[in-house]
Amino acid sequence: MDLEEIRDFLVQLARTAGEMIREKTGKVTWDDKMNSVDLVTETDAAVERMVKEQLASKYPDFKFMGEETAHGVLTADPTFIVDPIDGTTNFIHRFPSSCISLGFAVDKVPVVGVVYNPLLDHMYQGVQGKGAYFNGQKLPLKPPSELSLGTALIAIEWGSERSGPNYTCKTQTFANLAASDGGMVHGFRSMGSAALNLCSVAAGTLDAYWEGGCWAWDVCAGWAILAETGGAVVHGNPGTDKAAVDSRVYLAVRAGSNQQKFIADFKSHIKGS
Ligand code: IPD
């Protein structure tokens, strides 16, 4: 299987999707899915249709999983895992932080990732064993320094589940990290796109990203990119270490010394740990 050829094809698809997304950004109406903060537009569906058709014709033997049309259960078979617009809320508001996220997993391991933000023309891509790049520049964008919670810039997301125990766990964990007895993190950023958060961790411009509630299509491509930079994705719950692409709860940490200590420190701030 030629992973670089797959990457090149995904880059081409991402650019075509980018034109569709750019043309409609800020001009769309939306529908609610699970609730009034879980949104979808006709463009999400149109992009996914185009990508699915193109992939089926070029790679008929590979499986497809996509946010809008094909949830299914992830198997060990080679599978494209696609979010046609990650950051749909930003797309609707014209906040320039949404992307198409095209991942490819084999044996459930993300091995190719292409993430493209068409409004900013930011293209991230990575192939297992071949490195990861941002607009042609090798990632990470700065030398990996020591990780420490007290100096960390962390991506958090509110997600679309806004009540119940998971929501309480999130908000209390944010508060613990913001101002706990053990010190304060430098800050939080909430860009509204799991894939772009992961790419920023890969770039080293964010130290970590923690979220519960997202899906394989939100993380597969960004994970493949991050893994190529020495970054880690672990399970985001305190009692579990290893994450799978469909774990739904993730902690992603950039490359750097003290990575394991950073992960342990982070997890000790999760509410209930
Ligand atoms: C969402 C975004 C958001 C994250 C949610 C995702 P969508 O994806 O990545 O940042 O908090 O968990 O579902 O709905 O815009 O494709």
CA of 182 to the centre of ligand 1 (A): 30
Question: Residues 159, 214: contact at Cβ < 8 Å?
Answer: yes
> Cβ–Cβ contacts within 10 Å for residue 128, how many?
18
Instruction: Mention the CATH class of domain 149-268.
Output: alpha beta
What dihedral do alpha carbons 228, 6, 218, 119 form, nearest 10°? Answer: 90
The model scores a pTM over 0.80: yes
Annotated binding residue 85: yes
Annotated binding residue 86: yes
Biggest CA–CA distance in the chain, Å, is 56
Q: At 64, is the pLDDT very low, low, confident or very high (cuts 50, 70, 90)?
A: very high
Annotated binding residue 68: no
CA of 1 to the centre of ligand 1 (A): 30
β 63-66/79-86 pair status: parallel
pLDDT value of position 53: 97
DSSP for 183-229, please give it.
B--SEEE--S-HHHHHHHHHHTSSSEEEEES--HHHHHHHHHHHHTT
Return the domain boundaries, the chain: 3-138, 149-268
Active-site positions read 67, 83, 85-86, 88, 218
Give the nearest ligand 1 atom to 91 CA: 15
Residue type present at position 21: I
3-138 homologous superfamily? Fructose-1,6-Bisphosphatase, subunit A, domain 1 (3.30.540.10)
Question: Tens of pLDDT along 192-202?
Answer: 999 999 999 99
CA of 239 to the centre of ligand 1 (A): 24
Residues 6 or more apart from 181 whose CB is under 8 A from it? none
Residue 217, judged by CB atoms within 10 A of its CB (0-12, 13-18, 19+), counts as buried
Share of the chain above pLDDT 70, in %: 98
Nearest protein CA to atom 2 of ligand 1, as residue? 193
Rg, the chain, Cα only: 18
Question: Tens of pLDDT along 90-124?
Answer: 999 999 999 999 999 999 999 999 999 999 999 99
Q: Is the pLDDT of residue 179 over 90?
A: no
Question: Tens of pLDDT along 218-258?
Answer: 999 999 999 999 999 999 999 888 999 999 999 999 999 99
Q: What long-range pairs does 53-61 form, CB within 8 A, spacing at least 24?
A: 54/13, 55/13, 55/80, 58/9, 59/6
> Measured between alpha carbons, how far is 167 from 87 in angstroms, rounded to an integer?
19
Question: Tens of pLDDT along 116-155?
Answer: 999 999 999 999 999 999 999 999 999 999 999 999 999 9
Annotated binding residue 218: yes
pLDDT value of position 272: 66
Give the nearest ligand 1 atom to 83 CA: 16
CA of 190 to the centre of ligand 1 (A): 11
pLDDT value of position 271: 84
Q: Which of 218, 168, 211 is nearest to 190 (CA)?
A: 211
Range 29-45 average pLDDT: 89
Cα distance from N-terminal residue to C-terminal residue, the chain: 42
> Measured between alpha carbons, how far is 5 from 15 in angstroms, rounded to an integer?
16
Question: Residues 67, 49: contact at Cβ < 8 Å?
Answer: no
Residues 6 or more apart from 32 whose CB is under 8 A from it? 38, 39, 40
pLDDT value of position 18: 98
pLDDT value of position 240: 87
Binding pocket residue ranges, ligand 1, CB within 6 Å:
67, 83, 86-88, 157, 159, 192-194, 211, 213-214, 218
Give the nearest ligand 1 atom to 213 CA: 12
